Amino acid sequence: MEDDPAELRTETVEGNIAFNKMIWMEVFVVVGMSFECQTDKFLLHHLNGVQGDLPIGESLWVIVNPDRSALDCVSSRIQRALPERRSVRYAVHSRAGTRQGIRD
């Protein structure tokens, strides 16, 4: 389950299929995620371990979050897991109608 500690999780066929598809992807869009929960940290840890010559290692991540500090935090977590990745970050403020893009 999502709220189980990472060390208590067991592998499932569905999880393995999803992970194996993910490591071959080249573009990811992250909207409002924090990568703070154990599930997300577990995922980033394992992506780091397989990045090598797979497309995930040099993938493009588009990160969207209205909170600039959360945006920077998520970008940093992804960067630590996938140091060769490229990313474009957007701080979107819908009420003000402004958009700020930052390219890494």
Domain ranges of the chain: 12-103
Query: What pLDDT sits at residue 83?
Result: 92
For residue 23, pLDDT over 80 is answered with yes
Which has more confidence, 10 or 34?
A: 34
Read off the pLDDT of residues 58-101 as tens digits, 9 standing for 90 and up.
999 998 888 888 888 999 999 999 999 888 877 766 555 555 55
pTM above 0.85, yes or no: no
Which has more confidence, 37 or 93?
A: 37
Residue with tokens 């403020």: 93
- Mean pLDDT over residues 5-20, rounded? 80
